[in-house]
Amino acid sequence: MKNKKVGIVIIGRNEGERLILCLESVIKAQVPSIYVDSQSIDNSVFEAESRDIKTIVLDESAPVNASRARNSGFKALVDEYPRLEYIHFIDADCELDPKWLEHCLLEFESSKFTAVVCGRLHEKYKNKNIYTRLCDMDWYIEPGEVDACGGIATIRCSVMIETKGFNEQMIAGADPELYFRIRKKNYKIICLPVDMGTHDSNMQYFSEYWKRSVKTGYAYMSKMILNGSKKPVISAVVWAFCLPICIFLMSYAFSNLFMIMFLLYPVQVLKIYKNMSIKKVHSKYNNLLYATFCLLGKFAEFFGISKYIFNLFSTSKQQLIEYKGK
């Protein structure tokens, strides 16, 4: 596809073979592209430059995170190609679907109020284990107008400039925060019922799933501080802190009553399962798996919330929360 209206920003850090596959998929699109590296210690920079893809490496003059990488890539690409109208952001652990840019451009050109367009992102090896299966389910977004999507999406350049892009102070949760600001300006975010690409989380262990959920909790807290979105934070605090404390105290005061409170957990799993089954998107097994881990993840999310609060009072530099295997 040769199109002078759209460009692609790839961001990555130590993605190895996944980056190579991402670069190859982007090259096939035949549009202006740039790779932004977040201080990788592998051959990432060499792999991008050897394929004649413009590459920049973030220095330590500011926090190194996905938000800064995307903003830096956007600015560099627009400076070089000032006539670009749309930018597709993609992570180096993803591969671009060959037809995605055609689909999203048609959507943009149908309405000047459409600011962001995303599509279906699939986990590349979703049947590898339960964690990749859960990840694939996480990527699903109901088609139509939505409140937010992930950082892998296509955004109108004028809107990126108007909103000043991603918040570079956020090490997690910057995507929904940007989309919140975009919607406040009465723009639309559209999810198309077509494939956007694949993602390779390479998760193999519960510890990696746990870290990913910690990052989610951190993002929830960041979002609440910025725009008052309290529901996810309250949910994690109730299920992972308040209820366990109540059960512990009740076990001493009322030896039998605490068991009734403990049953709230399986009841909540069944409630989530029922809500997911109504949509008829996934199998019964997958719905039950997701519902179970959704509740288990509350404990990791609470840990992420606590981590955010601790960082507020800490003078040490915030560290990226990385979960993937190499």
Question: Which residue(s) pair with 120 in the sheet?
Answer: 195
Return d(Cα 82, Cα 31) in angstroms, integer. Answer: 14
Q: What percent of the chain shows pLDDT beyond 70?
A: 94
pLDDT tens-digit readout, 225-284: 777 678 999 999 999 999 999 888 887 766 677 778 888 999 999 999 999 888 788 899
Q: Are 196 and 12 in contact (CB under 8 A)?
A: no
pTM of the model: 0.89
Please tell me the predicted confidence (pLDDT) of residue 156: 98
Return d(Cα 63, Cα 159) in angstroms, integer. Answer: 24
> Cβ of 170: how many Cβ atoms within 10 Å?
24
> Cβ of 293: how many Cβ atoms within 10 Å?
21
pLDDT tens-digit readout, 294-308: 999 999 999 999 998
Query: Hunting for tokens 């993937």 — which residue is that?
Result: 324
Q: How many CA atoms lie within 13 A of 309 on its CB side?
A: 10
Q: Which residue has the higher pLDDT, 125 or 61?
A: 125
Please tell me the predicted confidence (pLDDT) of residue 144: 96
Mean pLDDT over all residues of the chain? 91
Please tell me the predicted confidence (pLDDT) of residue 315: 64
Homologous superfamily of the 6-202 domain (CATH):
Spore Coat Polysaccharide Biosynthesis Protein SpsA; Chain A (3.90.550.10)
Exposed / middle / buried, residue 112 (Cβ in 10 Å: 0-12, 13-18, 19+): exposed
pLDDT tens-digit readout, 144-187: 999 999 999 999 999 999 999 999 988 888 999 999 999 999 99
Q: What angle do CA 275, 271, 296 make, to 5 degrees?
A: 110
Return d(Cα 103, Cα 72) in angstroms, integer. Answer: 26
Tell which phi-psi region holds residue 148, choosing left (phi > 0), alpha (psi between -120 and 50) or beta: beta
Return the domain boundaries, the chain: 6-202, 207-312
Residues 6+ apart with CB under 8 A from 9: 33, 34, 36, 70, 73, 74, 77, 87, 88, 89, 90
Token pair recorded at residue 279: 């949509």
What DSSP designation does 228 have?
A: -
**pLDDT confidence tier of residue 318, bands split at 50, 70 and 90:** low
Token pair recorded at residue 13: 């850090």
